[in-house]
Structure 1
Amino acid sequence: MQVLIKLGRHGGCYFIRNYTKLELQQDFAWPGWPFMLAWIPIACIGGYLIGGNIALVLTGDTRKLQNNGYGLIIILSACLIAALVSTIYLYSRNYIASMEACNAAIQQKATESHLRLLQSQLEPHMLFNTLANLRVLIEVDARAAQEMLDHLNDFLRSSLNGSRTTNHSLEEEFQRIQDYLALMKIRMRERLKIEVELPPQLNRIPVPAMILQPLVENAIKHGLEPTEHGGTISIRAKNLNQQLHLYVQDDGCGTTPSLVQEHGSDGYGLQHVRERLLHMYGDKAIFDIVNPPSGGYIAHIQLPIDQASSLS
């Protein structure tokens, strides 16, 4: 009986999908209750006749199936009730699973839209800071300003593809950061020293696009630029116990009260970093900021490597 019910369910869906203009209302194979309420009694009678005769043949029983009287009515009624109950149960389970999948897809799209909104807000923020730096440089060194503009064009060109995706490889993230640091190096010259450490085995680990950009900007703007002699910015990646650790460190003046007053308790870019990590990883990601005893500023991000396999 269950085999016949399932064959009718899938056969009805196939017929509706290919030979009628009607649309199936559910994502799973379901031709509708009117069809199924008509098919289930047929499947019960057919299943009783086919299954009963098979049983007689297999057992060698010479009796015939009961095909009339109250006994047949009782048997078919019990089978019909069991078939309806099981069909309703399976329909409800499939319906709930379909709704959960639909809700998950909607939630995923909402999350991706929110992440793209955050990224679209962050990119102009970075661009405005760079253009402000370029305007200052034009007044003091036109040749260096032209070189910086060339680097800016290269940086924006490489960032265009990255801005269209939610995440990319750690290697691409480091490349974009180095393009940005090349711009800052033109302006700060010998005042800016750069250290980058990316183990080759971590190159293909996926990370949120431009997740390090605001941390590097913050380190330069609030840690190194205010000091007379500048300093060193260090960007490192490590794999510790299947956790990806990203560090942006400078040896400048560290976090200052002016940063809190100007940008709020966490800063514009830092707030975006926290929100993006929260939406993409939940409580599986860690983001903290410390002032080491030796001075300066360390921004630390910890991500689970096993949550996203290496990009091919």
Structure 2
Amino acid sequence: MRSLTMKKNEGSKKLFFTEKRLLGLLAAFYTGLTLLGFIKTIYIKVYNDGLARVTWSDIVFSMILEWSGVMLFSILISRLVKYLMQRKISLSLVIPIHLIAGLLFGIFMTFLHHLATIIDNTHNVVLFDLGRLQFNFIRYLEYNLLIYFTVTFIIYTYYYINRALTESEKKNNIEQKFNEAKAMALQNQLHPHFLFNSLNNVSALIDIDKKKSKDMIADISEYLYNTVNLFEHKYITLEYELELLDKYLNIIETRFQAQLSISKSIQVDTKNVSVPPLIIQPIVENAVKHGYSRDHEHLNIKIDVSRPKNQLCIQVSNDGLPLTQKIGDLKKNGTGIKNIDERLSAIYGNDYQLNFCNDAENNQVVFQLLLHQTDEQTMQTNHAQPVFLSD
């Protein structure tokens, strides 16, 4: 019961609270209008005898009083507009409500103007004159309505822009959460895919060398043990990624032994760069899977990591069987490459490149991944380091 009362009170405060920025906009608008009126009054008083009897102090006082009155009424209008928007009052009611409020504003301003006249002429004892009030109300009606509806337009515009920005921010947050969840789900698919391929390798090795097959099982267990905590992190450092890659390379080198040769060239200043977890392994796995053939029984794989400008370039090349598939088909049909592409799309949007080519001149198949680096990635990496487990 108490919580319901507190929520109700909070709702009431929000309903009747006028934002400082909105008040600043309204004050700036009417202050500008008041200054224009003051300049016009100066011109009339200096170059015309129409205001000869009115003192400068009377003019300034009258303008200050009217400015204060408009700002006070503007606060009331902003609360009225917020109430109408929050209650989602229909347009058929909103229009007459504002027409009535505009007339009340005209009466209020006419009264303020008459009050200023009385105060300015206290020595002449000017009393309230209902007939003059009615005359001034009709005389300045269109001007006062113009002020009212201009103020109302500013308020509505302010609230609608704020609402649009809030909705846009909510939408962006939802999309970000969705992409993070999607990336996490895709990342979680890597373990079953890796495990399936690894168990096939163990199955192929077990009849050839039981000791090495046992060692491979131990390596697989250690690899899974060290990657189990990665799935809560959006980014890790490249240094951690390379440590994981080394463990994976130990497994496949045990499987292929002398048939496989792997070399790495890692630029020193890339070690602390942020990358999504397990992003290089599927590329290497794909190179092994598609590189071997009857004509390519020995496979050389080279891993190059460099940092041109604000990008991270990861390149995996092999001298095996040239690929015949197009990059689009490979991203669509290849399990590992498809997974990488979808994860990168969920994390980076369009701000990445994943390509391959058959380098006929050097007899190589080259996979290249370009990742744009941002401060957000660096910050998340610095505050979310995975802990690698050991024996």
TM-score by length of 1: 0.74
Greater helix share, structure number: 2
1:195 aligned to which of 232, 240, 263: 263
Q: Is the 8 A contact 2:259 2:297 kept in 1?
A: yes
Superposed CA deviations along residues 229-285 of structure 1, whole A, max 9, x for unmatched, are 42221111111232221111112223257xx99x89642211222222233223321
Pair 1:61-2:61 in alignment: no
Counterpart for residue 112 of structure 1? 180
Identity of aligned residues (%): 24
Distance 1:307 1:270 in 2: 27
Q: Which amino acid aligns with 1:31?
A: K
Query: Structure 1 residues 264 and 287 mapped into 2: Cα distance closer, same or farther (>3 Å)?
Result: closer
Counterpart for residue 14 of structure 1? none
Superposed CA deviations along residues 172-221 of structure 1, whole A, max 9, x for unmatched, are 22221111011011111222222122222111211222222211111112
Q: Is the 8 A contact 1:253 1:295 kept in 2?
A: no
The alpha-carbon deviation at position 101 of structure 1 amounts to: 0.3
2:300 aligned to which of 232, 241, 252: 232
1:101 aligned to which of 169, 192, 197: 169
Q: What is the SS of the residue equivalent to 1:288?
A: strand
Q: Which amino acid aligns with 2:358?
A: N
Counterpart for residue 338 of structure 2? 271
Q: What is the SS of the residue equivalent to 1:61?
A: helix
2:218 aligned to which of 129, 132, 150: 150
Distance 1:212 1:240 in 2: 18
5 Å-filtered alignment, 1:62-81, equals 62=58, 65=65, 66=112, 67=115, 69=133, 80-81=148-149
Pair 1:222-2:290 in alignment: yes
TM-score by length of 2: 0.60
Over alpha carbons, which structure has the higher Rg? 2
Q: What is the SS of the residue equivalent to 2:246?
A: helix
Q: Is the 8 A contact 1:224 1:251 kept in 2?
A: no
Across the aligned residues of Structure 1 and Structure 2, the Cα RMSD in angstroms comes to 3.6
Distance 1:225 1:155 in 2: 28
Q: What is the SS of the residue equivalent to 2:354?
A: strand
5 Å-filtered alignment, 1:1-312, equals 20-22=6-8, 31-32=14-15, 35=16, 61-62=57-58, 65=65, 66=112, 67=115, 69=133, 80-224=148-292, 229-255=297-323, 266-293=333-360, 294-306=362-374, 308-310=376-378, 311-312=381-382
Q: Is the 8 A contact 1:226 1:253 kept in 2?
A: no
Runs of 5+ unmatched residues, structure 1: 1-16
Q: Which amino acid aligns with 1:287?
A: L
Q: Is the 8 A contact 1:206 1:308 kept in 2?
A: no
Distance 2:355 2:173 in 1: 31
Distance 2:4 2:267 in 1: 55
Query: Structure 1 residues 281 and 21 mapped into 2: Cα distance closer, same or farther (>3 Å)?
Result: closer
Runs of 5+ unmatched residues, structure 2: 39-54, 66-111, 116-127, 383-391
Q: What is the SS of the residue equivalent to 2:322?
A: coil
Distance 1:160 1:130 in 2: 16
Q: What is the SS of the residue equivalent to 2:305?
A: strand
Distance 2:297 2:374 in 1: 42
Q: Which amino acid aligns with 1:61?
A: S
Q: How many pairs align? A: 272
Distance 1:131 1:288 in 2: 29
Q: Which amino acid aligns with 1:188?
A: F
Please, which moves more after superposition, 225-234 or 74-83? 74-83
Query: Structure 1 residues 226 and 283 mapped into 2: Cα distance closer, same or farther (>3 Å)?
Result: farther
Distance 2:348 2:250 in 1: 31
Q: Is the 8 A contact 1:224 1:250 kept in 2?
A: no
The alpha-carbon deviation at position 20 of structure 1 amounts to: 2.8
Counterpart for residue 76 of structure 2? none
The alpha-carbon deviation at position 300 of structure 1 amounts to: 0.6
Q: What is the SS of the residue equivalent to 1:163?
A: helix
